[in-house]
Amino acid sequence: MAFDFDKYAETSEAVNWTDLDLDVFDDMRLDRDTLRSVRYMCDVEYHTTCFVRELLVTPSHSEDATAAFMTMWNREEFWHGEALAAVLEKHGIHVDYDEVKAKRMSLGWKLALGPAKQSLLSNMVGTDFIAVHMAWGAANELSATAGYRRMAAMQDHPVLSPLLERIAKQETRHVAFYTTQARQRLEDNPRAQKIVRLALGKLWKPVGSGMMDDDEVKHVMSHLFQDHTDELDKLDKSVQKLPGLDSLTIFRDAFARLGVG
């Protein structure tokens, strides 16, 4: 997918759900497992500020395109969290940004050392760190998009499903940005390809890992993909299309470690 940054900048906006009648949830309640997954998705979207905070100390923030994208990406992800929080509120589950902030603070030194660790690693790798950031972001956004669409299809709910499809549509633009940037930085760059293969192959985990309890990660990934593991192969094939990343199976491998698939 090619990415038109100017068009993205002009059309970036908060996901709209004002035309969706949330009162439908009064009669068409979501089941417990689905609510647990929606809560997970909500927390992940709200936690985007953590990622931006860490990336501000890496070479990525010094480039105009990536810095500008991260600003709008952060805003869109926040509003995804707000929309999902509204769904949860209709089920008596109250989530707000202050609560998520408190959860981040509870991570203590793990949170505080995040930017320092990113800064150290990025300085060691140099500008090729941006290739890692872009490829990693592509993998994260690919999995997020697939997760939203799986949930929408599973529920076939008159309110939840269209909301999730709208969020997924915005996520596809994020995929396009990261993929375009990663391809440019990996093309004819064997060193970057080697570093990215190592990072993704050894370190990538499903979005939410590290900030959520392991049991929550396994529950959500099992809920969405246990009976549709063919989706994991599709995600791996998308990553394999990037220069030098052929044969990588980061999704199959990461989910296998969770006992999914």
Domain boundaries, the chain: 23-258
pTM score: 0.87
The partner residues of 209 in beta bridges, in order of sequence, read 212
Lowest mean pLDDT among 50-64, 80-94, 177-191: 50-64
Instruction: List, for residues 1-26, the tens digit of each pLDDT value.
Output: 567 878 888 889 999 999 999 999 99
pLDDT of the residue at 127: 76
Lowest mean pLDDT among 71-75, 187-191, 234-238, 248-252: 71-75
Instruction: List, for residues 107-127, the tens digit of each pLDDT value.
Output: 544 444 344 445 446 555 667
Whether 70 has a pLDDT exceeding 90, the answer reads: no
CATH top class, domain 23-258: mainly alpha
